[in-house]
């Protein structure tokens, strides 16, 4: 358990070190560029995220499962998935560029932003190496260089703001940040794993993985659609400036999603092992995780709602003041998001991939319908309402479609405050152990270097 918490702790360090400074950097860039150019850039990011979700091939969670269950073939699995994802990403990149050339004809800024953003799709093929280290509970090998590169480029982007740089300067800086990051990840992996790694596709394995992953692939596409479709629709039904204001609110609201996402990534190997060992321990872990997720997300929603009219002008400036009301609404989507992330891990371990797909399809339909109804009249506030409704629909459908009713039984216990306090005490104890181990490891490393 302590090893799993250590892995989770490193992932949380990675996310938090990027997200909170990242919010400041993005706010400064948004303030510098203004709502319109900021909106154009985020349109490109949304489009490439939607199309690029197909390049993941549903392998994010499946890769971890395969690597844990087939340790003797880990090199083959990693190489096969990387090459499959590179092939898919090149196709997705071409589709993105084609869409913008057709839909935004003679609007060069949209095209430039899309080309740079689509490059990320190809580079993210090497995220498979992250999955390899997650399976081995050794993610710190990639997290430390990732954080270092991120901090370095934060400084570079601050310099660009100070020098009154253009949007193109930020695009180049973002592209170089991704290139440097993935080069380091590849070098770290190559140094430690050259013996069992050959860069070739195992065709039988690729066919098996594709057969298993298609429901996850569709689910990922649907998830990204209803996470990003509001941005595309805002640009289409309103304007780029309204999109820029909405993004400023959504980024603050969504930065908290890193907490359950990190925990879900770190805890997945442990859940799979717990299910194979003791089902009672496995269900108890899910129950505690669900309960902590509810109380934490509710407290975040209340806090942000009360302070939204201070946060937005402080970070983005008065030009984004209208985004305060968008943030007050959007932040309440965090509660169903936190709960859904827990329940999705349960469904994945149980092999119930299709429920995940159907739940997300329901959320997508609600999201699109409400956006079409509200954006023309209410702009970003309408999109925020649609987001809350969509995520609530997803969680409701996941519970409704779970034939075992296990999700319903776990949800009944999440409102119990006494149990939540007990869970917090246990979490605090694990956190102290992790912190103590981290400090001890750092001292040992320093001592060894001195000798």
CA distance 165 to 373: 38
**Where does the pLDDT of residue 138 fall: very low under 50, low under 70, confident under 90, or very high at 90 and above?**
low
Least Cα distance to 249 among 341, 385, 156, 114 occurs for 385
- The residue-averaged pLDDT of 226-230 equals 85
**Where does the pLDDT of residue 290 fall: very low under 50, low under 70, confident under 90, or very high at 90 and above?**
confident
Dig out the tokens for 158 from the structure: 């601050």
Phi-psi region of 199 (alpha: psi -120 to 50; beta: other; left: phi over 0): beta
**397 or 448, higher pLDDT:** 397
| Confidence at residue 381, expressed as pLDDT on a 0 to 100 scale | 95
| Confidence at residue 61, expressed as pLDDT on a 0 to 100 scale | 66
pTM for the full predicted model? 0.76
**198 or 398, higher pLDDT:** 398
In sequence order, what DSSP letters do the residues of 129-192 get, joined into one string?
Answer: HHHHHHHTT-THHHHHHHHHHHHHHHHHHHHHHHTT--HHHHHHHHHHHHHHHHHHHHHHHHHH
| Confidence at residue 266, expressed as pLDDT on a 0 to 100 scale | 65
**CA 320, 338, 354, 4 torsion: positive or negative?**
positive
CA distance 213 to 128: 15
pLDDT in tens, 349-380: 777 767 877 888 899 999 999 999 999 999 99
**8 or 421, higher pLDDT:** 421
Per the prediction, the chain carries an average pLDDT of 82
User: Picking from 84-88, 231-235, 261-265, 336-340, which range would have the lowest pLDDT averaged per residue?
Assistant: 261-265
Q: Show contacts of 412-418: CB within 8 Å, 24+ apart.
A: 413/287, 413/290, 413/291, 414/287, 414/290, 414/291, 414/293, 414/294, 414/339, 415/294, 416/291, 417/295
**Where does the pLDDT of residue 48 fall: very low under 50, low under 70, confident under 90, or very high at 90 and above?**
very high
CA distance 255 to 330: 12
Cβ proximity of 267 and 4 under 8 Å: yes
Least Cα distance to 100 among 122, 117, 125 occurs for 117
**CA 373, 360, 289, 403 torsion: positive or negative?**
positive
User: Picking from 19-23, 143-147, 163-167, 304-308, which range would have the lowest pLDDT averaged per residue?
Assistant: 19-23
CA distance 277 to 274: 5
Dig out the tokens for 359 from the structure: 């739940």
Dig out the tokens for 388 from the structure: 């809350």
Cβ proximity of 383 and 249 under 8 Å: no
Q: What share of the chain is helix, strand, coil (3-state, %, to 5)?
A: 90, 0, 10
In 3-state terms, what secondary structure has residue 327? helix
User: Of the ranges 12-21, 271-280, 388-397, which is most confident?
Assistant: 388-397
- The residue-averaged pLDDT of 134-138 equals 64
| Confidence at residue 1, expressed as pLDDT on a 0 to 100 scale | 46
pLDDT greater than 90 at residue 32: yes
DSSP label at residue 47: H
pLDDT greater than 70 at residue 224: yes
């Amino acid at each position: 358990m302590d090893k799993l918490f250590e892995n989770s702790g490193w992932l949380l360090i990675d996310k938090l070190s990027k997200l909170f400074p990242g919010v400041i950097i993005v706010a400064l860039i948004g303030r510098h560029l203004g709502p319109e150019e900021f909106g154009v850039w985020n349109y490109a990011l949304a489009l490439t995220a939607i199309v690029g979700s197909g390049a993941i091939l549903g392998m994010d969670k499946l890769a971890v499962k395969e690597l844990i269950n087939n340790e003797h073939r880990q090199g083959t699995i990693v190489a096969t998935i990387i090459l499959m994802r590179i092939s898919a990403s090149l196709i997705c990149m071409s589709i993105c560029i084609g869409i913008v050339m057709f839909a935004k004809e003679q609007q060069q800024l949209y095209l430039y932003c899309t080309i740079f953003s689509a490059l990320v799709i190809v580079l993210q093929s090497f995220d498979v190496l992250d999955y390899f280290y997650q399976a081995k509970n050794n993610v710190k090998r990639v997290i430390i260089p990732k954080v270092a590169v991120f901090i370095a480029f934060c400084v570079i982007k601050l310099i660009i703001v100070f020098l009154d740089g253009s949007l193109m300067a930020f695009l180049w800086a973002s592209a170089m940040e991704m290139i440097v990051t993935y080069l380091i990840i590849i070098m770290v992996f190559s140094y430690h794993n050259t013996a069992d790694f050959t860069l070739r596709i195992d065709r039988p394995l690729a066919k098996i993985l594709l057969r298993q992953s298609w429901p996850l692939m569709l689910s990922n596409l649907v998830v990204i659609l209803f996470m990003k479709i509001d941005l595309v629709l805002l640009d289409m039904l309103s304007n780029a400036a309204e999109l820029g204001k909405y993004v400023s609110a959504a980024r603050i609201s969504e930065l908290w999603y890193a907490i359950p996402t990190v925990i879900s990534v770190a805890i997945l190997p442990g859940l799979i092992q717990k299910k194979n060992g003791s089902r009672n321990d496995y269900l108890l872990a899910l129950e505690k995780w669900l309960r902590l997720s509810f109380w934490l997300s509710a407290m975040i929603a209340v806090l942000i709602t009360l302070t939204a009219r201070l946060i937005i002008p402080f970070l983005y400036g008065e030009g984004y003041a209208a985004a305060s009301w968008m943030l007050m609404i959007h932040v309440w989507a965090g509660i169903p998001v936190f709960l859904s992330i827990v329940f999705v891990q349960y469904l994945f371990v149980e092999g119930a991939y299709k429920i995940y797909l159907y739940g997300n399809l329901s959320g997508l339909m609600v999201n699109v319908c409400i956006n079409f109804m509200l954006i023309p009249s209410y702009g970003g506030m309408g999109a925020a309402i649609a987001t809350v409704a969509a995520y609530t629909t997803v969680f409701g459908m996941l519970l409704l479609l779970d034939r075992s009713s296990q999700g319903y039984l776990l949800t009944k216990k999440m409102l119990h405050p006494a149990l939540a306090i007990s869970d917090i005490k246990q979490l605090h104890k694990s956190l102290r152990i992790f912190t103590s181990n981290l400090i001890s490891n750092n001292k040992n490393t320093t001592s060894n270097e001195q000798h």
